[in-house]
Amino acid sequence: MMLSESLERGGPTGLLLHAEGKNGRVAGTRSSHSTINGTTGDTGEVTIFFNRLLRDIPSLRKNATATVVLPPYVDCKRCADFPVSQNKVSAICSMHREYHFISTPILSKPMQNANGLKTAATIVLLIMVTTLLIILYQGAQKKIARQINLQDVTLQTAPLIVAWTNYFSTSLKIPLLATLNDCAYRCEFIDREELEQHSSYVSAYVIHGRDMNVSDLPSLHSSSIHVLMLMESPYHTGGGIYEVPRNYFNATITYRRDSRYFHPYGHFALRSGEEDVSDIITKEQRKTRGSLIFVSNCNTPSKREKLVRELGKLTSITVRGNCESQLAVGNEMRSFSCKEDCDDDSLIATHRFYISFENSVCNDYITEKFFMRASQILIPIVAVRRVYEDAGIPNGSFIALDDFGSMKELADHLTDLRQNDTKYLEYFEWITRYRKPTAHIGDALCKLCEDIHSRSRFHINDIVTYYKDGQCE
């Protein structure tokens, strides 16, 4: 005889029990425990709905099966305490904290078809939603993983910057490595030959334009920075930049102030306070000779050699270098004895001026011809003042040819300074406020290292246009 009983929940502590059996009723008592106690009269199946406040109900014989559906308001931790038919019960959990303990036999019973189908539909829907969420999550993770390149691994150590070429006949480390000194960011700078010893991902390549072999360049990679280094004027870049794909480089290391990585030939640093320069003044007063020039390029875009010859006809100039014969300007150079290769303390110690005409008149192109000679306490003579203004060079530390109406006016001014120590020493007032300029010191590699750590991205669309257009007279 089939028996069913329904106890409707009457309040917050109520319990709804629906039971079916062949020969008996389900009976039980309520208590404050969360486990099942009691027996049934015979083998049967029950469906039990209960709320957060679990109460003891009659237990089933071991052959009985049960389906328990826990609504969202039921504490999931209490579910684990429910021991009915554990060997037959499975669990599914959704994001909505609705838990279903299902025993399939009861779903086939006629009286439970409606509830069973509803439960099954809910379960299928939850499975589909959960599966979709998992797929979307995994897809997002893969997308993020693609965006995070191999630098994530290398940044755990020091990012690797590779000097792909030499710097003329020497390593690129010579002009650049010092720029990592005192850098707040950590990077390792190696020559290309050392690359085999490193398994790290290469974060940046530095390529010297004059040593560049277009058929032997590192492959472009979206996460690597390719940097062109050129310290020559646009007239002397070499042919490489005309052959390489024009969008190959991301940035430059040059003497130009608008370079991503500014690397001047030198700079003046302020002193912390005024210093006694009386010894320097005394040495300068002992100098008696006029102008000095060391020159190796005899045919220049700036027509430097022509200017030197014209000036040499009006004032004394000592010439040393490959162009001595072409720039023979009088007896001064032959009357002074020195070794053939002297660059030279003996010459520096006796001359008051240095002719710092560059081989090209280009924006920001100020080379060691200026900085080195200023550090040796010679007065540099330059061709065009505007190139040196706003370049961090102290006012009154140099003489500019274009300040004078003619070459003769310049020559007369130099003669006056040789004879008048007071006027001459005015050109060295900067020494009390600035240190002597240092060469090839900057923060080019440190700035590059910072860009690697911050994953900055930038590009040059056309390296030829960038480097040449509108830069030179």
Query: What is the arrangement of strands in the sheet containing 351-355, beginning at the earlier edge strand?
Result: 317-320, 289-294, 351-355, 379-382, 399-400
- Pairwise CA distance, residues 365 & 379, whole Å: 18
Compute the distance between CA of residue 49 and CA of residue 26 in angstroms, rounded to an integer.
15
Calculate the CA 369 to chain-centre distance: 33
- In degrees, rounded to 5, the angle at the alpha carbon of residue 430 between the alpha carbons of residues 399 and 296 is 45
If you count DSSP H runs as helices and E runs as strands, how many of each does the chain have, helices first? Answer: 14, 21
440 residue type, one letter = H
Beta bridge partners of 291: 317, 353
User: What is the spatial distance between Cα 1 and Cα 25, in angstroms, rounded to a whole number?
Assistant: 10
- Listing DSSP states for 287-352 in one string gives --EEEEEE----S-TT-HHHHHHHHHTTS-EEEESTTTTTT--SSHHHHS---TT--SHHHHTTEE
Contacts of 455 (CB under 8 A, 6+ apart): 151
Distance CA 150, CA 158 (A): 13
Q: Residue 120: enclosing H or E segment and its boundaries?
A: helix 113-147
Annotated catalytic residue: which of 232, 310, 332, 450? 232
Evaluate whether 439 touches 372 at the Cβ level (below 8 Å). yes
Asked if residues 305 and 298 have their Cβ atoms less than 8 Å apart, the reply is yes
- Enumerate residues 6+ apart whose C-beta is below 8 A from 387: 361, 362, 363, 364, 365, 366
Is 232 noted as a catalytic residue in this protein? yes
Residue 266 host element (H or E): strand 266-267
Q: How far is CA 84 from CA 14, 15, 27, 55, 81, in A?
A: 20, 17, 16, 14, 9
Q: Is the dihedral of CA 473, 267, 315, 427 positive or negative?
A: positive
Please check whether residue 261 is in contact with residue 253, taking contact to mean a CB–CB distance below 8 angstroms: yes
Instruction: Show which residues are catalytic.
Output: 232
